[in-house]
Amino acid sequence: MRKLIIFVLISTVCFAFKLQDDETKKPPKYINFYEGSLSSAGKVAKRDKKLIVLFVTSEECEVCRQLKQNFKDEELKEFYKKSFVVCHMDPNKLANNFRLTNWGVSEVPTLLFMDTKTKILLKVSGYKSKDELITAANDAIDIYNKKGLKTPEVKK
Protein backbone atom coordinates (compact mmCIF):
# COMPACT_ATOMS: atom_id res chain seq x y z
CA MET A 1 0.00 0.00 0.00
CA ARG A 2 2.81 2.36 0.89
CA LYS A 3 4.43 1.74 -2.52
CA LEU A 4 1.17 2.56 -4.25
CA ILE A 5 0.83 5.86 -2.38
CA ILE A 6 4.43 6.81 -3.18
CA PHE A 7 3.89 5.89 -6.84
CA VAL A 8 0.73 8.05 -7.02
CA LEU A 9 2.49 11.01 -5.38
CA ILE A 10 5.50 10.79 -7.70
CA SER A 11 3.23 10.45 -10.75
CA THR A 12 1.20 13.48 -9.69
CA VAL A 13 4.30 15.63 -9.22
CA CYS A 14 5.75 14.53 -12.58
CA PHE A 15 2.44 15.23 -14.31
CA ALA A 16 2.26 18.72 -12.77
CA PHE A 17 5.77 19.54 -14.01
CA LYS A 18 4.87 18.22 -17.46
CA LEU A 19 1.81 20.48 -17.62
CA GLN A 20 3.84 23.47 -16.51
CA ASP A 21 6.49 22.69 -19.14
CA ASP A 22 3.82 22.38 -21.87
CA GLU A 23 2.40 25.79 -20.94
CA THR A 24 5.78 27.47 -21.33
CA LYS A 25 6.26 25.91 -24.78
CA LYS A 26 3.01 27.32 -26.18
CA PRO A 27 3.50 30.30 -28.49
CA PRO A 28 2.03 33.54 -27.14
CA LYS A 29 -1.50 34.37 -28.26
CA TYR A 30 -1.36 37.66 -30.07
CA ILE A 31 -4.99 37.64 -31.09
CA ASN A 32 -7.78 35.14 -30.58
CA PHE A 33 -9.19 33.92 -33.88
CA TYR A 34 -12.82 32.94 -34.23
CA GLU A 35 -12.94 29.15 -34.38
CA GLY A 36 -16.04 28.59 -36.53
CA SER A 37 -16.66 28.79 -40.25
CA LEU A 38 -16.66 32.05 -42.15
CA SER A 39 -20.43 31.87 -42.66
CA SER A 40 -21.00 31.42 -38.92
CA ALA A 41 -18.60 34.32 -38.33
CA GLY A 42 -20.93 36.39 -40.50
CA LYS A 43 -23.86 35.49 -38.26
CA VAL A 44 -21.89 36.40 -35.14
CA ALA A 45 -20.78 39.68 -36.75
CA LYS A 46 -24.37 40.55 -37.65
CA ARG A 47 -25.60 39.72 -34.13
CA ASP A 48 -22.80 41.70 -32.46
CA LYS A 49 -22.91 44.58 -34.99
CA LYS A 50 -19.32 44.02 -36.09
CA LEU A 51 -17.50 43.45 -39.33
CA ILE A 52 -15.23 40.52 -40.17
CA VAL A 53 -11.50 40.65 -40.68
CA LEU A 54 -9.88 37.58 -42.19
CA PHE A 55 -6.15 37.15 -41.61
CA VAL A 56 -4.59 35.14 -44.42
CA THR A 57 -1.25 34.05 -43.02
CA SER A 58 1.06 31.08 -43.21
CA GLU A 59 3.20 29.54 -40.47
CA GLU A 60 6.22 29.53 -42.79
CA CYS A 61 5.94 33.26 -43.57
CA GLU A 62 8.34 35.51 -41.64
CA VAL A 63 6.42 38.68 -42.57
CA CYS A 64 3.24 37.04 -41.24
CA ARG A 65 4.94 36.42 -37.91
CA GLN A 66 6.10 40.05 -37.81
CA LEU A 67 2.55 41.23 -38.53
CA LYS A 68 1.19 39.09 -35.68
CA GLN A 69 3.78 40.66 -33.35
CA ASN A 70 1.89 43.97 -33.66
CA PHE A 71 -1.00 42.34 -31.80
CA LYS A 72 1.09 42.06 -28.66
CA ASP A 73 -0.05 45.66 -28.25
CA GLU A 74 -3.15 45.44 -26.02
CA GLU A 75 -4.66 48.63 -27.43
CA LEU A 76 -4.55 47.27 -31.00
CA LYS A 77 -5.81 43.86 -29.90
CA GLU A 78 -8.76 45.39 -28.04
CA PHE A 79 -9.60 47.69 -30.95
CA TYR A 80 -9.83 44.75 -33.36
CA LYS A 81 -11.71 42.63 -30.83
CA LYS A 82 -14.29 45.40 -30.30
CA SER A 83 -14.79 46.13 -34.01
CA PHE A 84 -14.43 42.77 -35.76
CA VAL A 85 -14.97 39.06 -35.65
CA VAL A 86 -11.35 38.10 -36.27
CA CYS A 87 -10.87 35.00 -38.43
CA HIS A 88 -7.87 33.20 -39.87
CA MET A 89 -7.32 31.23 -43.04
CA ASP A 90 -4.20 29.27 -43.99
CA PRO A 91 -3.61 29.46 -47.76
CA ASN A 92 -1.65 26.20 -47.69
CA LYS A 93 -4.82 24.19 -47.10
CA LEU A 94 -6.23 23.11 -50.44
CA ALA A 95 -9.85 23.91 -49.54
CA ASN A 96 -8.86 27.49 -48.68
CA ASN A 97 -6.63 28.00 -51.69
CA PHE A 98 -9.46 27.96 -54.23
CA ARG A 99 -11.55 30.42 -52.23
CA LEU A 100 -8.60 32.78 -51.68
CA THR A 101 -7.73 32.72 -55.39
CA ASN A 102 -11.31 33.75 -56.20
CA TRP A 103 -10.94 36.64 -53.76
CA GLY A 104 -7.76 37.79 -55.51
CA VAL A 105 -5.41 36.90 -52.67
CA SER A 106 -2.01 36.18 -54.16
CA GLU A 107 0.32 36.90 -51.24
CA VAL A 108 0.61 36.55 -47.52
CA PRO A 109 0.00 38.23 -45.22
CA THR A 110 -3.29 39.64 -46.47
CA LEU A 111 -6.13 41.05 -44.40
CA LEU A 112 -9.60 40.92 -45.89
CA PHE A 113 -12.11 43.23 -44.25
CA MET A 114 -15.62 41.91 -44.92
CA ASP A 115 -19.23 42.74 -44.19
CA THR A 116 -21.52 40.29 -42.43
CA LYS A 117 -22.27 38.55 -45.75
CA THR A 118 -18.51 38.01 -46.31
CA LYS A 119 -18.37 40.52 -49.14
CA ILE A 120 -14.93 42.10 -49.29
CA LEU A 121 -14.85 45.77 -48.32
CA LEU A 122 -11.08 46.23 -48.28
CA LYS A 123 -8.03 44.09 -49.01
CA VAL A 124 -4.68 44.97 -47.41
CA SER A 125 -1.53 43.00 -48.23
CA GLY A 126 1.96 42.87 -46.76
CA TYR A 127 3.35 43.92 -43.43
CA LYS A 128 1.52 46.78 -41.69
CA SER A 129 2.48 48.71 -38.57
CA LYS A 130 0.09 49.23 -35.66
CA ASP A 131 -0.97 52.62 -37.03
CA GLU A 132 -1.49 51.20 -40.52
CA LEU A 133 -3.61 48.38 -39.09
CA ILE A 134 -5.81 50.90 -37.26
CA THR A 135 -6.10 53.04 -40.40
CA ALA A 136 -7.06 50.01 -42.50
CA ALA A 137 -9.71 48.99 -39.96
CA ASN A 138 -11.17 52.50 -39.89
CA ASP A 139 -11.14 52.63 -43.70
CA ALA A 140 -13.13 49.37 -43.81
CA ILE A 141 -15.63 50.75 -41.29
CA ASP A 142 -15.96 53.95 -43.36
CA ILE A 143 -16.55 51.97 -46.57
CA TYR A 144 -19.24 49.93 -44.81
CA ASN A 145 -20.91 53.01 -43.36
CA LYS A 146 -20.97 54.71 -46.78
CA LYS A 147 -23.16 51.83 -47.93
CA GLY A 148 -25.75 53.13 -45.45
CA LEU A 149 -25.28 50.29 -43.00
CA LYS A 150 -24.59 50.67 -39.31
CA THR A 151 -21.41 49.48 -37.61
CA PRO A 152 -20.14 50.06 -34.11
CA GLU A 153 -18.75 53.50 -33.38
CA VAL A 154 -15.33 52.27 -32.36
CA LYS A 155 -13.07 54.63 -34.29
CA LYS A 156 -9.71 55.50 -32.83
* pLDDT profile of the chain (156 residues), mean per 10: 58 48 50 91 95 94 94 94 95 87 93 95 96 97 84 51
User: Could you give the domains of the chain?
Assistant: 28-146 (3.40.30.10)
Confidence (pLDDT) at 105: 93
Give the separation between CA 156 and CA 35, rounded to whole angstroms.
Answer: 27
Pick from 23, 43, 41: which is nearest to 32 by CA? 41
Give the separation between CA 24 and CA 40, rounded to whole angstroms.
Answer: 32
Count CB atoms within 10 A of the CB of residue 134: 19
Confidence (pLDDT) at 98: 83
